[in-house]
C-alpha cells in the first residue's frame, strides 16, 4: 500500500507539469530521466511491493516495525520531501 500511495504522490506532482504516465515503465523512465533523486526511494518501495504481492525478487520478510521505520518513515517520507522542493 505504501508503494501505491507513493505512486499517487508522484503522479500528482507530475500532473502539475502536465505529465501523465500510462504504465509503470513510462513512470520509471520519467523518474530516472527527470527526477533522478526520486529513483532510489521510489524503486525501493516498488521492489518491496513486488515482494509482498508476488514474492518476486525474494521473500518479503519485513516485520511491521521495519515497514514503518524503513519504508514509510524512510523511503515514503523522503520521496514526499523531495517532491515538495
pLDDT bracket for residue 85 (50, 70, 90): low
* CA neighbor of 82 nearest in space, from 34, 47, 48: 34
**Which range marks the domain in which residue 18 is found?**
2-84
| Alpha carbons 31 and 11: distance in angstroms, whole number | 10
User: Cell triple for residue 53?
Assistant: 504481492
What is the pLDDT averaged over residues 63-77? Answer: 90
Q: Are 3 and 49 in contact (CB under 8 A)?
A: yes
Domain count, the chain: 1
**CA–CA dist 53, 78 (Å, integer):** 23
Percent above pLDDT 90 for the chain: 67
Amino acid at each position: 500500500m505504501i508503494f501505491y500511495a507513493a505512486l499517487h504522490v508522484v503522479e500528482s506532482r507530475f500532473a502539475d507539469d502536465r505529465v501523465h504516465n500510462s504504465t509503470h515503465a513510462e513512470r520509471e523512465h520519467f523518474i530516472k530521466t527527470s527526477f533522478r533523486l526520486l529513483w532510489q526511494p521510489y524503486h525501493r518501495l516498488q521492489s518491496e511491493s513486488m515482494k509482498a504481492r508476488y514474492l518476486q525478487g525474494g521473500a518479503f520478510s519485513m516485520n511491521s516495525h521495519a515497514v514503518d521505520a524503513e519504508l514509510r518513515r524512510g523511503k515514503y517520507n523522503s520521496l514526499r520531501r523531495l517532491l515538495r522542493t
